[in-house]
Amino acid sequence: MHGRVEAPHSNRRDFENLKKLSTYLWEYRGRVLVALACLMVAKLAVVAVPLVLKRIVDTLDVAPGPDGIGSEELLVIALGFVAAYGGLRIASSLFNELRDSVFSRVRYRAMHQLSTRVLTHLHRLSLGFHLERRTGSISKDLSRGTNSLSTISNLLVFNIFPTAAEFLLVAGILLSGYGWHYTLVVVVTVGLYIAFTLKFSGWRMQFRHEMNRLDSLANGRAVDSLLNYETVKYFNNESLEVESYDQHMSDWADAGVKSQITMSTLNFVQSAIVAVGVTLILMLAARDVSAGTISIGDIVLINALMLQLFVPLNFLGVVYRGLQYALADMDLVLRLLEREPEIRDSEAATELHVSDARIEFDDVHFAYLEERPILKGVSFEVQPGQKVAVVGPSGSGKSTLSRLLFRFYDVDSGAIRIDGHDVRSVRQDSLRRALGVVPQDTVMFNESIRYNLAYADVDLPQERIEAATRQANLNAFIEQLPQGYETIVGERGLKLSGGEKQRMAIARVILKDPPIIVFDEATSSLDTQTEQQILVSLDAAARRATSLVIAHRLSTVVDADQILVLDAGRIVERGTHESLLAEEGLYATLWQLQQGEGDHHVTGSDNCP
């Protein structure tokens, strides 16, 4: 089935995702190493602060004696330690800021590369994916995934690694200077803290996942309703859209409350574990001070070390939760990057160089859904320079022909060839360079008229653009605008009428000047007078190229070299306008219906998928 949506994954691969993340940082490994060096110097300075503080207290605790150190000497020594204390504080702050400055380029460049890669991949994915996606949900996942890269790199490099290093330094100081009792209490406390944090945080992540899912649904619904603003107004369904959004947000709020309650529980238990550990450490220190085995400076040192260790350790709970959230967000983006395009160039794909511009459909079968065939053995040729039209009832598969020619989908069986080359054997970019299209539904970028006209070649000179607008009967309209070619057309071209957008599309394909042009209902939004004015220009453009015209209005294709009548996925008639009328078949019936209704009133369209 074409455009199949994969089932969502319930499991994440955090370690694998972290390995993928490292590839973005490895390019700047020099800066990463410098940042880590700054981090280690800052941590050494932080751990050295309590050691200096102990010396200050012990120095001041010594009473000056007639045979010992005098009070002035004690003051000088104490002031020296105080100066060292201040210097270590300044060094810690300095190297922390240097670390942030050095690593900032790594972080922002990695975010830049990931977001660019995701957008590139989205453009590579097949049309089926984009027909089924919700723009709002994809943009939200992209934003969260890009931000998660920054979050993960910051948490790993600036929180988890330094906290682990500080723990090892503190444990080493306690073990070497005060015995295994102190070290045992610290190790057990930290072990309990980490075990509880990991276990409980892992369980409560379900609420964060649910919040993400509902947030994406609500955002996607809101964007979808705004993109279809006119449809909502036509049917007075503002309340339906708001109610649907409100329901998603209500569920999101409920999940958020559960997330907050479980987070508060986590924070309390973490604080209790830390409080018990610090209390036990201070009880041991008080015992040793009273026994005379350690000094007052030692108890100050031990207390300062505990505070320095447990403050970042307490933050480690937040860090772990942040890391889990970021990994959950990144998992969505990395799975998106793993999604393979359904339409891919083969390894042996070659560049398409068009010389004759001959098109051949050879026994083409195709279905969007297996149970609903669209094309059933379609075969025809368009000779170089010919204008071949495809007509038929709505839903007969006419517009599908252009999608297959552009290779938005691959045929299920048969082949489509250009100058004898199967379109599946050539590179997609070279194929589409050789093709131009005037689509049935012309969508514009929210940019200037000039930008939209020159989209095929942004460096086109103004003279060529103006010549193309004259050919498309668009120049008079543009000259009336206060800002002329710099006028912004609005999102999806909403500031332009249907006829103006189609004339823009005609001018755009004239500027591209490809050897093959597809006209897919190219005049469906034009009134009869305007249509007649630009048919001559269309014919001139078509005569310079091989053209395939998909049409509902039969009056626009009476001059075609060959007309193919498509019905229920099969070509049931073919010939010129006169020969088909003489056959008195489906074409003649459609012609009589349109003539009877007045051809200028017929504005039907091919609604084939």
Question: For residue 291, what is the domain's CATH number?
Answer: 1.20.1560.10
Predicted pLDDT of residue 430 = 92
Domain boundary among 292, 310, 338: 338
Flag whether pLDDT at 224 surpasses 80: yes
- CATH code of the domain containing 579: 3.40.50.300
What was the pLDDT predicted at 71?
Answer: 63
What average pLDDT is seen over the chain?
A: 81
Angle of CA points 250, 256, 258, to nearest 5°: 110
The residue that leads in pLDDT, 388 or 299, is 388
Amino acid identity for residue 482 in this structure = P
Whether 548 and 459 share a structural domain: no
Q: How far is Cα 499 from Cα 131, in angstroms, rounded to an integer?
A: 25
Same domain, residue pair 372 and 287: no
State the pTM of this model.
0.65
Burial 283-299 (b: 16+ CB within 10 A, else e): ebbeebeeeeebbebbb
Does one domain contain both 505 and 522? no
Residue 181 has pLDDT above 50, yes or no: yes
Which of 338, 357, 374 marks a domain boundary? Answer: 338
With respect to residue 46, please indicate whether it lies within any of the assigned structural domains: yes
Looking at the structure, tell me whether residues 531 and 498 fall in a common domain.
Answer: no
Residue closest to 256 by CA, chosen among 325, 327, 344, 336? 325
Place of tokens 């010396």: 55
Average of pLDDT values for 349-361? 91
Number of H helices, E strands in the chain: 19, 10
Query: What pLDDT is attached to residue 342?
Result: 82
Q: Give yes or no: residues 507 and 523 share one domain.
A: no
360/477 same-domain check: no
> Which pLDDT score, from 0 to 100, does residue 603 have?
38
Indicate if 180 and 42 belong to the same structural domain.
yes
pLDDT value of position 136:
60
Residue 113 near residue 24, CB atoms below 8 Å? yes
> Average pLDDT, stretch 69-86?
74
Cα–Cα distance between 200 and 195 in angstroms, integer? 8
Q: Does position 605 have pLDDT exceeding 50, yes or no?
A: no
DSSP 158: I
pLDDT of amino acid 5 = 35
Q: What is the mean pLDDT of residues 474-498?
A: 83
Predicted local distance difference test score (pLDDT) of residue 390? 94
pLDDT greater than 80 at residue 179? no
For residue 68, what pLDDT is reported? Answer: 52
**Among 455, 479, 512, residue at a domain's last position:** 512
CA distance 493 to 498: 9
Domains held by the chain: number: 3
What local confidence, expressed as pLDDT, does residue 529 receive? 67
Round to whole Å and give the CA distance between 118 and 17.
15
Residue numbers of the domain that contains 454? 445-512
Q: Does 98 reside within a domain? A: yes
- The reply to whether 137 falls in a domain is yes
Does residue 9 sit within a domain? no
Residue 8 lies in a domain: no
Mean pLDDT lowest among 274-278, 321-325, 344-348, 537-541: 537-541
**Looking at per-residue confidence, does 274 or 518 come out higher?**
518
Whether 607 shows a pLDDT value over 60: the answer reads no
The pLDDT assigned to 2 comes to 46
Within 13 Å and on the Cβ side, how many CA atoms surround 358? 11
Query: Is 247 in the same domain as 172?
Result: yes
Residue 475 has pLDDT above 80, yes or no: yes
Least confident of 394-408, 416-430, 590-604: 590-604
Cβ-proximal residues to 339 (8 Å cutoff; 6+ apart), any chain: 6, 121, 125, 129
For residue 118, what pLDDT is reported?
Answer: 83
- 409 and 475 share one domain: no
pLDDT in tens, 236-250: 888 888 888 888 888
- Residue 601: its pLDDT value, please? 42
* 435-438/387-391 β-pairing: unpaired
pLDDT tens-place string over residues 365-417: 999 888 889 999 999 999 998 899 999 888 888 889 999 999 999 999 999 99
Q: For the segment 300-317, what is each residue's pLDDT rounded down to a tens digit?
A: 877 777 777 777 766 666
Tell me whether residue 5 is in a domain: no
Q: How confident is the model at residue 523 (pLDDT cuts 50, 70, 90)?
A: low
Compute the distance between CA of residue 553 and CA of residue 563 in angstroms, rounded to an integer.
Answer: 12
Q: Is residue 95 part of a domain?
A: yes
Per-residue pLDDT, averaged over 140-156, amounts to: 77
User: Quick check: is 278 in a domain?
Assistant: yes
Highest-pLDDT range among 80-89, 181-190, 371-380 = 371-380
pLDDT band, residue 344 (cuts 50/70/90): confident
* Integer Cα distance of 142 and 135 in angstroms: 10
User: 186 and 139 in one domain?
Assistant: yes
Query: Is the pLDDT assigned to residue 194 strictly greater than 50?
Result: yes
Shared-domain flag, residues 286 and 242: yes
Q: If DSSP codes are grouped into helix, strand and coil, which group holds residue 300?
A: helix
- Confidence (pLDDT) at 441: 77
Co-location of 123 and 187 in the same domain: yes
Model confidence over 5-63: pLDDT tens digits? 333 444 557 777 777 777 777 777 888 888 888 888 888 888 888 778 777 777 776 65
* φ and ψ at residue 516, rounded to 5 degrees: -130, 130
Per-residue pLDDT at 251: 87
If you average pLDDT over residues 173-185, what whole number do you get? Answer: 81
